[in-house]
Amino acid sequence: MTIDHSKCDHPRTSKGRAWCRRQREGGATPKTVDMSKAGSSRVDPPKTPRDKDQECMVCGVERWEMRGTDALTGILLYVGEKCKYMVQRARDFQVYDREDKVWLDAE
């Protein structure tokens, strides 16, 4: 739940907001959130992976599933489905099997 402190008279600091939340008769009110657009692709933010070491090296938005050497830079890239185009023609292109936790050569 998000709290609206716009009508409060306490200092605009984290300490002031914490003091306000502890008061029973504080001026803070819960913010209303418009959920009518929830679920549409325009509203939902991209979901980054919880583990930063598993995020796509190109966009950083999704979890990597493939790896291969980029033809332009010569760097081994770990990419997700969106950025597959970066490495799909690499000679060392591989797909990661999350169940068995092994790299499989693409066929």
> ∠ CA(34), CA(37), CA(40), 5° rounding?
150
pLDDT digits 0-9 by tens, 22-41: 776 656 666 665 555 555 55
1-5, 51-55, 85-89, 100-104: range with lowest mean pLDDT: 1-5
Q: How far is CA 76 from CA 38, 56, 61, in A?
A: 37, 12, 18
What's the pLDDT score for residue 98?
85
Taking only Cα atoms into account, the Rg of the chain, rounded to an integer number of angstroms, comes to 23
